[in-house]
Structure 1
Amino acid sequence: GIPVRPIENTIHAPTTNISNYLDEIIRPIFDKECQNTTIIDGSSLIQALHQYMRKGLFKSTTLFCTFDIRNLYTMLPQ
């Protein structure tokens, strides 16, 4: 069958302001703590691979995988 998921625009919901406030507080902490394990663009991927090679962790048996998550958040203002 065809999956059906409700999509609700909550940009003007009562919780929007508190959500934005919490994001302002939590985002810098998350970014700082996860910077070593988060790849945000091609440039950060290349830097991570260079560090990986410098540490001697890149071997002939190293496996890489990629995945895409589509429509995880269909309407999420940032």
Structure 2
Amino acid sequence: MNEMWIKNIENISINNEVGECPFCCSNDTNYCDVEVNNGYGYEIIWCNNCKNACHISRIKITAQSHTNINIPKDLKF
């Protein structure tokens, strides 16, 4: 399922925006970077409309990282 989010991952790296959900085409999307250890962590990308989500492991957390966002509990990975 992560393959479906490739365009969104590119959007985040270029524009800091998720863009359209690859499942339901909603623009009500978001993401959060979570630091786990020594400047590294993971990223969750999701759609607030259909609740589909993507988990990306082992990313570098930077000053530009999108942190402190509430991640919904009912996401479908």
TM-score, structure 2 as length reference: 0.28
TM-score, structure 1 as length reference: 0.28
Bigger relative CO (Cα 8 Å, ≥ 6 apart): 1
**Greater Rg, structure 1 or structure 2?**
1
Greater share of strand:
2
